[in-house]
Amino acid sequence: MVTQRAIKPVHESEEEGEKLKELVSKLSEEKKILLLSGKDFWRTQPLPELNVGSLKTTDGPNGARGEFFTDGTPAALFPCGISLAATWNVDLLHQVGSTLAKEAKAKQAQVLLAPTVCLHRSPLGGRNFESFSEDPILTGKLAAAYINGLQGEGVAATIKHFVANEQETLRMQINSVIEERALRELYLKPFEIAIRDADPWALMSSYNLINGLHADMNPFTLRKVLREEWKYKGAVISDWGGTNSTVESVKAGCDLEMPGPAKLRGKALKAALDRGDVTIHDIDESVERILRLLQRTGRFEASVDEPGEKTLDTSETKQLIRKAGVEGITLLKNENGTLPLGPEIKKVALIGPNVKRAVAGGGGSASLKPYYNTTPYDSITAVSGREILFAQGAQIDKWLPLASNICKTSSGQPGAVLEFFKGDKFGDSPLIVQTRAKTDLFLWDSAPVEVLPAYSFKVKTTVVPETTGEHQFGFQSVGPGRLFVNGQLLIDNWNWTEAGEAMFEASVEVVASIHLNAGVPIEILVESTNETRPVGKAGAATHGYGGCRIGYRESPVVDLIQEAVEIASQADAAIVIVGLDAEWESEGYDRQNMDLPKDGSQDRLVSAVAKANKRTIVVNQSGSPVTMPWVSEVPAILQAWYQGQEAGNALADILFGNENPSGKLPVTFPKRLEDNPAYHNWPGENKKVVYGEGIFIGYKHYERLALDVLFPFGHGLSYTQFHYGEVGISGPVLSDSNTLTVSVPVTNNGKVSGQEIVQLYIRDIKARLPRPEKELQGFSKLSLSPGETGIANIVIDLYSVGYYDTSIPGWIAEAGGFEAIIGSSSDDIRGAVLFRIEESFNWTF
């Protein structure tokens, strides 16, 4: 028997529902079609005659960026998704959501394109940093809290990317081939939980194909699962440029083509309607859902957009970001109480490429221009009150550092002047002239509409070299491009053929050297257009979005490791801050390996410093696991993720014991890349990636293979110790109509206050189909003073025991015995109790 569970109704009265239907019936066919695609890059079409405004959307998960992809209005930059997940703190995620709503409103936006809930299938996923975890339950529960916080303040969430979008390689064309059971139990699960617990008002379809059909036109995922089984009434928005058909995508229920103006809808949809390929009923369904989104976000009452984006840099937001940062930092290793650094440590060597840089977030649509940054160097200097020595230690730039670190316009402003010409042949005088602060000129959404669709541009700036030597320029362009130095052509990238990774569709970086003299200004000129490259690229339009990136580096003369070793040997403790950054970890591409970049330089640095100073602490900033060949050479390791604008302060708080770390890993850190579950099937071949590991990703894979890992899922230490008492359960039998509560007392046995994340895993003792050793089904975070005992109460229900059986088809809780296992990590088990299910039962949602 398949039981249809009661589904939490959409928060809409019958009356409101009727009103929507009535409104749909009032709209002309033309208006309805107009509503199904965007007005511009970020907005939907308004309906001024009905007093209905347009919706403004904004990225993204760790901040509300506003109108422009690069260099926009400053906004609050929160810790990235995986760092938030490492807090395992649903209340905090709720608060983050409600603060993001205020930030979105300041940017005049009603729809936040977040959260990202794709799972970490491989450690190499380019967007792992912005999504939460390898575990669907942790991901789903955190996403629900975030969405409730956001929508509680009237801003729509757009949970993304639906579905099976776990890699960036060939993301527009890759076909994710997945067995239905794995799709249901893993990749659909966070969406299912969020829809049940938080009802996100919008959902974004992904770029990829799922089992042969693009996500925006996939009747299985969009119609059957989302609409029929889950009764989802929210709006489905295509990822930007991810609408792949006119008829099939409307029929599958992808409501809104973004960005606008219409490419596959508009006239094409009208023609399809006239031909009878889509019906007015298909269109009406989508129109109703878009109107619902407008209604929920208050756009029925506000037809006029408030002009301009604002900043809201409040002290409450600062404090929240710092707290979130502190709670995300995960203490991986701490031998002999190396941390926190006590008063006996008077002189500290701060070493590493990330010490004086703000490595605050990953790259792509999750990035934004923060209100401010805090670097480890500044924060540690301010918080510690110790003598600080510094050495950079390693060079890790993926591409040459931006020329804008040093270049100025002719009027002395930092950055470069950008001249836009209408048409792709330049012209006598530019139509629009702008000054841009940075020389990563990604023009996806920011080329002036006046010059579209075909334009050319020049970039002009001046560099004054600080040293004399053979200096390097790096140049990448989306369209054809050339770079001149003092009027001489240095880099000709006009007819490039080799695609790189920057700016979604740019060339590889071309590097050229030139002899320059200290203090003698040189003029840089770039000429480029938005014609598409490489020439003859199959299916490409003749003109795209355009853009270029200019890098510059003066030739280094010092031995960076030797410098680091020298200061490490003079100090009482050495803190080595290593990691990745927004260029190594970004939307648009995946990492090539799991090692710290570049070419082993950071690994050599850690080993050399560890030899010079016994008290070496490694801080790793990354949004996914890295290999640590030096793990046994250092006594302490902190995983610091990307923590947004308060990154430096949060780190300093932990290092010097002003705060006690409580983060736990939302992903397993494997020992070797080769150990990871997706290793044999990554990133696929011939545009197809087979999710061959099925339901066994993350710890479920490592446990099944009994593989030793570097650090297990759920691991994280504290400056205090927690003692777990006996595990109890509220009853022996779970059914489809009751829940059980698993309880465990936990005592803080140490000398400082701390927080402990208690984890509950369920093991199905005997099942008809293979199941993981155990699965996380709940968690509870306790805050305890020294000597205090608290009780973690974790509720389990049918969802905690079910698995998906395609032969039913449906979810099943099978009669038999189960174990409720309590752990301080997936690998540190503190107790267990048994319970059972008397009679099997099934359900669909």
Catalytic residues: 239
**CA distance linking residue 340 with residue 263, whole number of Å:** 57
CB of 259 to ligand BGC, least distance (A): 8
**Residue 479 in contact with ligand BGC, rule: CB under 6 A:** no
Q: Are 491 and 552 in contact (CB under 8 A)?
A: no
Among 44, 244, 330, 365, binds ligand BGC (CB under 6 A): 365
Nearer of residues 80 and 640 to ligand BGC, judged by Cβ: 80
Nearer of residues 261 and 657 to ligand BGC, judged by Cβ: 261
Nearer of residues 99 and 365 to ligand BGC, judged by Cβ: 365
Tokens of 764: 């199905």
How many C-beta atoms surround the C-beta of residue 26 within 10 A? 11
Nearer of residues 59 and 775 to ligand BGC, judged by Cβ: 59
Q: Pseudo-torsion of CA 288, 293, 294, 298, nearest 10°?
A: 140
Among 146, 240, 371, 420, binds ligand BGC (CB under 6 A): 240
Q: Are 253 and 223 in contact (CB under 8 A)?
A: yes
**Residue 113 in contact with ligand BGC, rule: CB under 6 A:** yes
CB of 667 to ligand BGC, least distance (A): 20
Nearer of residues 364 and 648 to ligand BGC, judged by Cβ: 364
Owner of token pair 């012209």: 427
CB of 60 to ligand BGC, least distance (A): 5
Tokens of 125: 């996923």
**CA distance linking residue 125 with residue 589, whole number of Å:** 8
Which element (helix H / strand E) includes 25?
helix 14-26
What is the 8-class DSSP label of residue 225?
I
Q: Are 461 and 437 in contact (CB under 8 A)?
A: no
**Residue 115 in contact with ligand BGC, rule: CB under 6 A:** no
CB of 56 to ligand BGC, least distance (A): 13
**Residue 239 in contact with ligand BGC, rule: CB under 6 A:** yes
**Residue 505 in contact with ligand BGC, rule: CB under 6 A:** no
CB of 500 to ligand BGC, least distance (A): 17
Nearer of residues 365 and 777 to ligand BGC, judged by Cβ: 365
Angle at 476 between CA 471 and CA 479, to 5 degrees: 145
CB of 14 to ligand BGC, least distance (A): 34
CB of 157 to ligand BGC, least distance (A): 12
Query: In angstroms, what CA-CA distances link 823 with 164, 177, 743, 746, 776?
Result: 29, 34, 12, 11, 10
How many C-beta atoms surround the C-beta of residue 356 within 10 A? 14
Q: Are 115 and 143 in contact (CB under 8 A)?
A: yes
Among 38, 46, 53, 60, binds ligand BGC (CB under 6 A): 60
Buried b / exposed e over 536-553, threshold 16 CB at 10 Å, is eeeeeeebbbbbbbbbbb
For the segment 598-617, give every residue that binds ligand BGC (CB under 6 A): none
**CA distance linking residue 510 with residue 483, whole number of Å:** 10
Query: For ligand BGC, what does the binding mask look like between residues 152 and 191, x meaning CB under 6 A?
Result: --------x-------------------------------
Nearer of residues 146 and 377 to ligand BGC, judged by Cβ: 146
CB of 227 to ligand BGC, least distance (A): 22
Nearer of residues 446 and 826 to ligand BGC, judged by Cβ: 446
Size of residue set near ligand BGC by CB under 6 A = 7
For the segment 384-443, give every residue that binds ligand BGC (CB under 6 A): none
Which stretches of 656-765 are assigned E, i.e. beta strand? 669-670, 688-690, 709-711, 722-724, 728-729, 740-748, 754-764
Q: Pseudo-torsion of CA 470, 472, 473, 476, nearest 10°?
A: 150
How many C-beta atoms surround the C-beta of residue 148 within 10 A? 20
**Residue 59 in contact with ligand BGC, rule: CB under 6 A:** yes
Residues in contact with ligand BGC by CB under 6 A are 59-60, 113, 160, 239-240, 365
